[in-house]
Amino acid sequence: MVLLKVLVAGSTGYLGQHVVRELHARGHEVRALVRSPGKLDPVRDAVDEIHQADATDPDALAGCCDGADAVFSSIGLMGRSSKFTCWQVDYAANRNLLEEARGAGVKKFIYTSVVCAPGLDKLQLVRAKRAFEEELKRSGMPHTILYPNGFFSDMDEFLTMARKGRVYLFGSGRFRINPIDGADVAAAVADALAGDAEAIELGGPDVLTHEQVAHEAFRAVGNPPRITHVPLWPVKSGLVLLRRLTPLRTHQLIEFPLTVLTRDVLAPTTGRHHLAGYFQQAVSSSRRQA
C-alpha cells in the first residue's frame, strides 16, 4: 500500500473525525484543515499537521494543500442555524479548496455529498452540493464523489425522543431508510484513495422503516414504545410557507431533514455496522458520563 499525505477538510465533524482515525490507522499522514483547533481534541493524536483556516476565505487556504497527495472534504453546513448559506459553504468553500488543491498539484480530490434520491435535488442544500460536484467534474482532477445515505448520527433525534418517552413519526411510519455508520464511510474514503471509481453510493446494511428505527431507539433506552403519527399534509404545507416566508439562512437546514423524513430514502446496502449497535453504544456512553 502506498502511504500518502492527505488533507482532511471538515476534520472536526462527525464524518471527518472518522476519516482522520481511519487514515491514521492505515498509516497515511493526516493534515487537518480546521477553523477551531480545540474541536480537534478527540482525534488530535491521529493528526500529523494542522492548518487553521475558514474555507469560505480563499486567502486563508493558501498553502493548505502544499505537499499533499490527496484532499478529502466533508465541508458543509451543520446544525440548525448558520450565519452562512449553503451556497457560501457547501458550494463556494469547497470550490475554494478545489482551486487551492489544483494549484498545489494534488493528485486526487474525494468529496462527500448526499444521497441521490427523488425529490431531494430541489432543496437548496442539495442544489449547492450538486453545483460543486459539477465544478469538480469539470476540473479534470481525478476524483471520487461519495453519496452516503445519511449517517447514524442523523438518527440521534430518535434516541432523544425515546428518552422522553414518545417518538413522533411522519405519516404511517413506513418510509424506509438505511443510514450508514461514519466508520464505514471513512473506510470507503480510504479505499477511494487508490480506487478509480468516480462515484460511490453508500447505504447501511439494514433497510429499516421509521417505525423500526423508533423501536430500536426505545429498546436501547429501555422505555416502552410510544409512537405518535403526524399527518403529512401539515408538514408539506409548512415547508412551502417556510420557504416563502423565511430567508435561506433560516430554512436551508430545516427543509432537508423534514423532506428526508417524508419519503423513502435508500442507497445500496454496504458497511458492517448496525444502527441497533450504534444506539446501544450511544446510550451506554451517555450513562457513563452521567
Categorize the per-residue pLDDT at 286 as very low, low, confident or very high, splitting at 50, 70 and 90. Answer: confident
Q: Is the pLDDT of residue 91 over 90?
A: yes
Q: What percent of the chain has pLDDT over 70?
A: 98
5-150+180-203 homologous superfamily: NAD(P)-binding Rossmann-like Domain (3.40.50.720)
**Residue 156 vs residue 252, higher pLDDT:** 156
pTM of the model: 0.93
Give the residue among 38, 50, 54, 137 at the shortest CA–CA distance from 97.
54
Amino acid at 266: L
Q: Where are the domains of the chain?
A: 5-150+180-203
Cα 8 from chain centroid (whole Å): 14
Quick check: 6 and 68 in contact, CB under 8 A?
yes
Q: Is the pLDDT of residue 81 over 60?
A: no
What pLDDT does 244 receive? 79
DSSP SS3 for 289: helix
Quick check: 111 and 132 in contact, CB under 8 A?
yes
Amino acid at 248: L
Categorize the per-residue pLDDT at 8 as very low, low, confident or very high, splitting at 50, 70 and 90. Answer: very high
- For the ranges 26-40, 109-123, 240-254, 255-269, the maximum mean pLDDT occurs at 26-40
**CA atoms of 37 and 197, how far apart (whole Å):** 32
Joined together, the cell numbers standing for residue 175 give 418510509
**Mean pLDDT, residues 79-108:** 90
**Mean pLDDT, residues 24-29:** 98
pLDDT tens for each residue of 217-262: 999 999 999 999 999 888 778 777 777 778 887 777 778 888 888 8
- Provide the CB-side half-sphere exposure for 72 (13 A, CA): 32
